[in-house]
Amino acid sequence: LMRRQLVKITLSAIGSLASVSALCGPMGFKESWMSMGDISPNWQEVFVNYALTARDAAGASALVMRSDDGAKTRQFTEAIYTRLVRRWNMPEAQANIWFIGGVGNITGNDFSGSKTMASPGIQVDYETTRIYVSATSRLYRAQGLNHDFASARAGFSFFEVDYDQTQPWFILEVRRMRGLTDKTEVTPMLRLIHNRYFVELGVSNASQARMNFMYIFD
């Protein structure tokens, strides 16, 4: 009986850790691949990376940005490096500081040719199995272009689940980008998370549908 209880406790702990990793990190566990997507009418990004170590990952991203009025568009492809700068493991919580930086080419419909763009950034997050908060800032800079980006997220899970069950969350995100919009986008979303993946669905204050996803695989 004690052995069964120990196995159950261990599986629950592993499940909680997997859920935590899926919630906050822009990279997976060592030697895993992670894919992510963020899809809406004005922002379409697909991202993939490989965790070289428990703290370092390398990958690539393709991003399409559009102004609120649809007049300006940008296409940005970049190579990205992700680094876990610091982690605090607490009895029932985890906090992280991440560096996310990239460099690549950007094109647009209001200038000719392409430009080299750099995109250094930082993400800070804190979470338990029931609460999640994060803040992200990235500088998208090229000659004559400034599309700096900032976002903040907060959310909570509706109830606890076992390792093999899907957990629903409510997530509220506020984000803004320079140069393409003069508005702050606010999006409430329902997140469904299960071990190595999550899916988010919502509608922003601009009445635009949005879908996000993440999947970690070996």
Instruction: Reply yes or no on whether the pLDDT at 209 is more than 70.
Output: yes
- Whole-structure pTM value: 0.86
The mean predicted confidence, pLDDT, of the chain is: 88
Six token digits for residue 202: 């919502």
Residue 86 CA: distances (Å) to CA of 9, 26, 124, 156, 195: 27, 14, 10, 23, 23
Backbone dihedral region for residue 163 (phi beyond 0: left; psi -120 to 50: alpha; all else: beta): alpha
Tens digits of residue pLDDT in 88-107 = 999 889 999 999 999 999 99
More confident residue, 10 or 166: 166
Instruction: Reply yes or no on whether the pLDDT at 11 is more than 50.
Output: no
pLDDT, residue 16, reads 41
24: confidence class by pLDDT, cuts 50, 70, 90: low
Cα–Cα dist 141/143, whole Å: 7
* Exposure letters 21-60 (e unless 16+ CB within 10 A, then b): bbbbbbbbeeebbbbbebebebbebebbbbbeeeebbebe
pLDDT, residue 52, reads 97
Q: Give the pLDDT mean for 122-149.
A: 95
Instruction: Reply yes or no on whether the pLDDT at 154 is more than 80.
Output: yes
pLDDT, residue 181, reads 87
With a pLDDT cut of 70, the percent of the chain lying above it is: 89
Instruction: Reply yes or no on whether the pLDDT at 17 is more than 90.
Output: no
pLDDT, residue 23, reads 53
Instruction: Reply yes or no on whether the pLDDT at 4 is more than 70.
Output: no
Instruction: Reply yes or no on whether the pLDDT at 44 is more than 90.
Output: yes
DSSP secondary structure letters along 148-210? -EEEEEEEEESS---TTS-EEEEEEEEEEETTT-SS-EEEEEEEEEETTEEEEEEE-TTS-EE
More confident residue, 117 or 9: 117
Q: Give the pLDDT mean for 16-35.
A: 71
Reference 48, options 18, 73, 16, 26; nearest CA is 26
Tens digits of residue pLDDT in 56-82 = 999 999 999 999 888 999 999 999 999
pLDDT, residue 150, reads 96
